[in-house]
Amino acid sequence: MQLTIHQIDAFTHALFKGNYAAVIPLESWLDDDLMLNIGAENNVSETAFTCRQTDGRFAIRWFSPLMEIDFCGHATLAAAYVLCEEHNVSQIRFIADAVGELIVNKNNDGSFAMTFPKQAPQEVNAPPQALLNGLSIQPVKVLKNRQAYFAVYESAKQVKSLNTDSELLKTLAPHDVVATAPSDEYDFVSRYFWPASGGDEDYVTGSIHTGLAPYWAKLLEKTQLTAYQASSRGGHIQCDVGESTVTLTGHAVRYLKGTIYL
């Protein structure tokens, strides 16, 4: 069997920035174990598999090097980049078990706008001690949604200088950890840590912005926000917060197209 593989850098205008994802379009699903092995072999933060449905939508599944992930924003952007190019269309409708339908539109400037369900976090009155001990700087507030704990800081400088203890943060599974703060250059910045699910730090994490954007939108009293994920590669995300959805917009660039031999 031969499969076509694409590797795309998402949430960036330039190669070697943003977050990388592999995309593998399928005509029918592979066995789960095989997709897990491919995700581990690729060893990028996410490998997205897509499969076209009879109604024209594309089912999508995401695999980190360690496990299947139920929702990944940057690999959805990467998959939309590939499918819009292959099918010469400007809209892709994805379907995923955990989050339902995900609509992605390609804009005239080449960016992609992805509309996701809003996943606003709620404040945690008694944060887990493993979370607090796993962060080198104590947050001023902790929140949580279905995906992660949100450690809120006073300044972007604190977020950028933060160190973490991955072994302690692993014990918070299935929840990951995002650190966030307001910024002079952007509306907010963040860093994302997921040692139990994929790696110590993710470069750019689209999915968590469905929680970050509603939090900062309420605090800053605005619905359109600019965000920067302050990892070593960095990534830019435009966020538009609606009543029940969050639209994330970003660019992507191709790194490679090749063949997997199975």
List the pLDDT tens digit at each of the 262 positions of the chain.
Answer: 999 999 999 999 999 999 999 999 999 999 999 999 999 999 999 999 999 999 999 999 999 999 999 999 999 999 999 999 999 999 999 999 988 899 999 999 999 999 999 999 999 999 999 999 999 999 999 999 999 999 999 999 999 999 999 999 999 999 999 999 999 999 999 999 999 887 899 999 999 999 999 999 999 999 999 999 999 999 999 999 999 999 999 999 999 999 999 9
pLDDT at residue 251 in the model: 98
- What confidence score (pLDDT) does residue 197 get? 84
**Half-sphere exposure (CA, 13 Å, Cβ side) for 29?**
10
Cα–Cα distance for residue pair 81/18, rounded to 1 Å: 14
The C-alpha atoms of residue 37 and residue 39 are separated, in whole angstroms, by: 5
- CA separation (Å) from 95 to 11, 200, 221, 247, 252? 21, 28, 32, 16, 21
Q: In the annotation, is 85 catalytic?
A: no
Q: Which of 41, 46, 68, 154 is catalytic?
A: 46
pLDDT value, residue 98: 84
Q: Residue 212's pLDDT is what?
A: 98
How far is 63 from 47, CA to CA, in rounded Å?
5
Q: Residue 174 burial by CB count (10 A; 0-12/13-18/19+): exposed, middle or buried?
A: exposed
Q: What's the pTM? A: 0.93
Position 119 scores a pLDDT of: 95
Residue 156 has φ and ψ, to the nearest 5°, of -65, -35
Q: Note the pLDDT of residue 198.
A: 77
